[in-house]
Amino acid sequence: MLLAMAWRNLQRHGRRTFITAAAMGISVAFVMAMLAYVDGMYRKMADVMINQTTGQLQVAHPDFATQRTMYDTVPDAAARLKTVAALPGVRGASARLYGFALLGGAEQTAGAQLVGVLPEQELELVPMRDRMVSGAWLAPDQTDQIVLGEGLAETLEVAVGDQVVAVTQAADGSLGNALYQVVGVLTSGSVTLDRTGAWLRLKDLQTLLVLPDQAHEITLLSDSLDSRAGDPIVSALVKTVRAALPTDEKHPLSVRPWWVVSPATASMLATSDASAWLILVILFLVAGLGILNTMLMSVFERTKELGVMKALGTRPAKIVQLVLWESLLLSGLACLGGLVLGGVLDWMLVNWGLALTTSSGDRLSTGGVLFDPRIFGVVRADRIVVTVLTLLCVAVVAALWPAFRAARLRPVVAMRDE
Amino acid sequence: MRLLNVALLGLFLTATSASAAETTAETAASDPSITELLDAADDVQRGDHSHATLEMQVKTAHYERTMKMETWAEGTDKTLIRITAPAKDAGVSTLMVGNNIWNYLPKVDRTMKVPAGMMGGSWMGSHFTNDDLVKESRMSEDFDGVITQKPAADGTGQWLIELTAKPDAPVVWGKVLLAINIDKLPTKIEYFDEKGTLVRTMLFTDIQDVQGRQVPMTMTLLPADKPDEFTRLTYLDIDFDTEIPSNIFSLQALKR
Amino acid sequence: MNATPIVTVKDLTRDYQQGTITVRALRGVDLDIATGEFTALMGPSGSGKTTLLNMIGGLDEPTSGTVIIDGQDLNSLDRGQRSDLRLHRIGFVFQSYNLIPVLSAVENAEFVLMLRGLPAAERRARAVETLAAVGLAGMENRRPSELSGGQQQRVAVARAIASKPALVLADEPTANLDSKSGHELIATMAKLNEELGLTFVFATHDPKVMNAARRVVWMEDGKVQRDERK
Ligand SMILES: Nc1ncnc2c1ncn2[C@@H]1O[C@H](COP(=O)(O)OP(=O)(O)OP(=O)(O)O)[C@@H](O)[C@H]1O
Ligand SMILES: [Mg+2]
């Protein structure tokens, strides 16, 4: 009966109920859409900053991540890569070799960060083909090809079809130099890399640097879609890979998850997560104030009626219950509407994506990493459950004060109220 | 300071003379002044033209290699170096004119200018940087010189000169210690950073008479932070009186 | 009548503080009401009828003096206990607007039974029965807004008596009714008094109530002036 009363009380002021519920429902819908967007952005950031940069886990010389010395390599890279690539739970594996070189076009020269890659395997980690501004990605069976970052190509004033010279100090102290054919120009997703990055076959870079069959990293992807430090799937795979790669003193190897390789990335992703929750808090504060206002008004209007109820012997706890039921019903209604609307928004975000353009340009940049502006939503059930539960909790909390106010009414005083 | 020139030509103190002159008052009248000492050292490279062959031995934690090279120099700011051995690097040539460096790479048949951002990089895998090859430190403006030790009356011992960077001077070195022998030839130069930590030491040894001049035939660079590493340059042959066609210091000639 | 009174009021006073002025609404009221009585409290406006009724119903606390209901001194009870006492012993009919607007007639009638925790089917049956007793058979599902003033008051009476309280307190139940409705309501209550032996206490100006009452207590200036039994 209490529930029926609560329900009818809401109907009594249909328009007010509708407006409050609509406001809350829209909040829910927007929170859902925002979370889907933010999660989509995480996915993208994680993709760019983890998967495409460090990989989810990495096999490397223990000092390479911090020192980045040319000599801190993984020896017998081909064999080791084969071993780890065959492990269960490895979704992608590639080996990379890095080196600094002076690149020269016909007129201009510039320092470049060379990345030696396995053209096919690299595609499992990074969608290089989608990033080509012109030309094509490295052909696995062609030697002496190079793909340049957009900015670098501009600096060198070269285009697809041109040749560039690379000069570097090789591992044996000699002056390594080679001529490469520019086959492609790409935009890597990172501002810095676009300006300095150049990709060539692992084999070619090994030759240039005189580092035969060596790599600086074996980069792996797991099945995890998570972007939080301590991700259990990645942690488990780290153990598997460690077990599969015996190391000796002469060739020390470390197997590290991305959050150890790049703590800065981890803290950045964590910060974005925190800011998403901040938005939630603000939105729900607004929703909470809406409920508070509605319930206070409703209680205030019904002073006399509540006084009668108390005079008849209604216990205060029952009055509190009645008010809380009203609030819960109201927000439950709002949730239902919000879920429907939010579902529609989520569907649009997932299927169509949303391109937020910044005032400065058409790309989104976070911490020096450029993103494709179109972000596709990622819908997570746990997020929706949390959203709904949060709203219901807010509904209860916001209604507590009006409820207690109503419960404390003194019948004689209340009934005299006109 | 053009370190490599020091080795190649014996040039090493030209720039310090001016500032040294200011401190002559401190030295006794009977002794040579800093100016005289430095002038004497200057004399080592007075020959305007030189042609030499030398060997460069580089030892690092990761490799040890020996290269042979042929050099031509005119004055203090035109130098051509051509690597003759080992075969892998043979033909690689470096041209230095003023503060610019070009490398010619025969394998790819290209000449490349070393950009400003890479001047701090190693030259040919040695402990010398590209900057060392060309950069003219303004010692006269940036350093104060003081003679801290003189040879004994019996002719043993040597001069020690301490050069201290003037406050706010835009120099890499905070302090430079020179040791000059009784024949007024440098034997050792120590380079310190602003904090007073030894960064590297140059040793000049094997002094020989070449065409009437005293020339240290071997110069060794010892990086202080890597005790097992060094770069050693040894003259195999040096000729101060040779004729050098002036067009040799050109990009066209570099490719030859 | 019966020797043990259901209500005993002794030397009851009630002062209201209105700013700096103290209004003495009750100035020493002594009154016994026995089970089964049908009593009307009469008196000019401001004489303290409502105040006295509220004191008896435990809705308000006296300044001094005691109210004993069914052997329980109200001064010894806290608010919650008084609330329970009202729930279990007393039925209320107020002057107006005392139905819960969102509940239908039958739901209003069963409201007190619901509070008492009676099973839904049982209380519904009793509420329907009681509505019939007050002459509202067939109007169970109407909302208060769909009933006339007299019908509404009869629902209020049904609500007050459905739980079979020991005492029914009614404050000017006929004040807002037309004469015919007033008559019918009084007749209904008189019938309940006779048939079920329910104890009624009215505060009223209505001569129709006075005529129906078997005891009339006249009040003036916060005191009992006359106590007439017929
Ligand atoms: N809450 C209150 N605050 C101040 N004075 C009050 C309050 N309630 C009642 N009074 C005063 O107490 C006195 C008695 O009031 P009460 O309502 O009992 O009279 P009544 O006999 O019921 O009058 P009526 O016939 O008009 O209903 C009046 O003078 C009234 O003004
Ligand atoms: Mg009154």
pLDDT at A13: 85
Question: What does the pLDDT look like over C124-136, one tens digit per residue?
Answer: 999 999 998 888 8
Same domain, A61 and A180: yes
What is the pLDDT at residue B2? 45
Q: How far apart are CA C132 and CA C155, in angstroms?
A: 10
Q: Which residues from chain A sit within 8 angstroms of residue B89, using beta carbons?
A: 174-175
Which residue, A223, A250, A284, sits at the end of a domain? A223
Question: What confidence tens digit (pLDDT) does each residue in A271-297 have?
Answer: 766 767 787 788 778 888 888 999 999
pLDDT per residue as tens digits for the range B8-46: 433 333 333 333 333 333 444 445 666 666 555 555 544
Is residue A243, in this structure, part of any structural domain at all? no
pLDDT confidence tier of residue A358, bands split at 50, 70 and 90 = low
Pairing of strands B198-210, B213-223: antiparallel
The count of domains in chain A is 2
Asked whether residue A377 is assigned to any structural domain, the reply reads yes
Query: Does A31 share its domain with A79?
Result: no
Spatial CA neighbour of A28 closest among A327, A352, A386 = A386
Q: Is A64 part of a structural domain of the chain?
A: yes
Split at pLDDT 50, 70, 90, the class of C146 is very high
Would you list the DSSP string of C110-132? HHHHHHHT--HHHHHHHHHHHHH
Same domain as A29, residue A156: no
Residue A379 clears pLDDT 60, i.e. is over it: yes
Arithmetic mean of pLDDT, A128-154: 92
Residue B18: predicted pLDDT: 32
If you average pLDDT over residues A362-388, what whole number do you get? 72
Using 50, 70 and 90 to split pLDDT, how confident is the model at A262? confident
The confidence score (pLDDT) of residue B135 equals 63
- Residue A191: which of A39, A361, A57 has the closest Cα? A361
For residue A371, tell me if it sits in a domain.
Answer: yes
**pLDDT-based confidence at C58, cuts 50/70/90?**
very high
Summarize pLDDT for B71-124 with one digit per residue, the tens: 888 877 788 999 998 888 899 999 988 888 888 988 888 888 888 877 888 888
Q: What is the ipTM of this complex?
A: 0.91
Q: Are residues A316 and A366 in the same domain?
A: yes
Q: Whose CA is nearest to atom 17 of ligand 1?
A: C50
Indicate if A184 and A328 belong to the same structural domain: no
My answer on whether A137 and A189 are in the same domain is: yes
Q: pTM of the predicted model, to two decimals?
A: 0.64
Ligand 2 centre to CA of C171 (Å) is 7
**Helix axes A381-407 and A14-45, enclosed angle (nearest 10):** 150
Alpha carbon of A251 to ligand 2 centroid (Å):
100
> Does some domain include residue A230?
no
Please give the residue of chain B at the shortest CA–CA distance from A179: B108
Residue with CA at minimum distance from ligand 1 atom 5: C16
The number of CA neighbours under 13 Å toward the Cβ of A247 is: 17
C122 versus B32: the higher-pLDDT residue is C122
For residues A165 and B103, give the distance between their C-alpha atoms in angstroms, rounded to a whole number.
12
Q: Atom 3 of ligand 1 has which residue's CA nearest to it?
A: C16
What is the structure's pLDDT at A181?
95
- How high does pLDDT run on average in chain A? 86
Find the mean pLDDT for residues B115-137. Answer: 79
Same structural domain, A14 and A62: no
C37 vs B245: which has the higher pLDDT: C37
Please give the distance, rounded to the nearest whole angstrom, from the Cα atom of residue C192 to the centre of ligand 2: 24
In our burial notation (b when 16+ CB lie closer than 10 A, e otherwise), range A372-401 reads bbebbbbbeeebbeebbebbbebbeebbbe
d(CA B94, CA B103): 5
Residue A239 domain-assigned (yes or no): no
d(CA B148, CA B145): 9
Domains recognised in chain B with CATH numbers:
24-254 (2.50.20.10)
CA–CA separation, B80 and B8 (whole Å): 11
Find all residues with CB under 8 Å of C190, minimum gap 6, and list them: C38, C212
| Same structural domain, A151 and A193 | yes
Same domain, A302 and A333: yes
Helix (H) / strand (E) element for B221: namely strand B213-223
* Distance between CA atoms of residues B1 and A396, nearest Å: 78
A237 in any annotated domain: no
Is the confidence at residue A396, as pLDDT, over 60? yes
Range with the poorest average pLDDT among A75-89, A141-155, B11-25, C14-28? B11-25
Sequential DSSP letters for B108-165: TTEEEEPPGGGTTSBSTTSS-BHHHHH----HHHHEEEEEEE---TTS-S-EEEEEEE
In terms of domains, do A157 and A98 share one? yes
Whether residue A195 lies inside any domain: the answer is yes
Residue B113 · residue B104 · CB < 8 Å: no
Selection from A11, A19, A24 nearest residue A326 by Cα: A11
Q: Which helix (H) or strand (E) holds C169?
A: strand C167-171
Residue A52 has pLDDT above 60, yes or no: yes
- What is the percent of chain B with per-residue pLDDT over 70, rounded to a whole number? 77
Residues A69 and A218 in one domain: yes
> Cα(C174)–Cα(C16) distance, rounded to whole angstroms?
27
Residue ranges making up the domain that contains A319? 2-48+267-415
Q: Are residues A71 and A211 in the same domain?
A: yes
B158 — pLDDT class (breaks 50, 70, 90) = confident
Among A104-108, A194-198, B176-180, name the most confident range.
Answer: A194-198
Distances (CA, A) of A110 to A156, A331, C195, C203: 7, 62, 111, 103
Cβ within 8 Å, pair A312-C111:
yes
Average pLDDT of chain B, as a whole number: 77
- Residue B40, φ and ψ in degrees, nearest 5: -60, -45
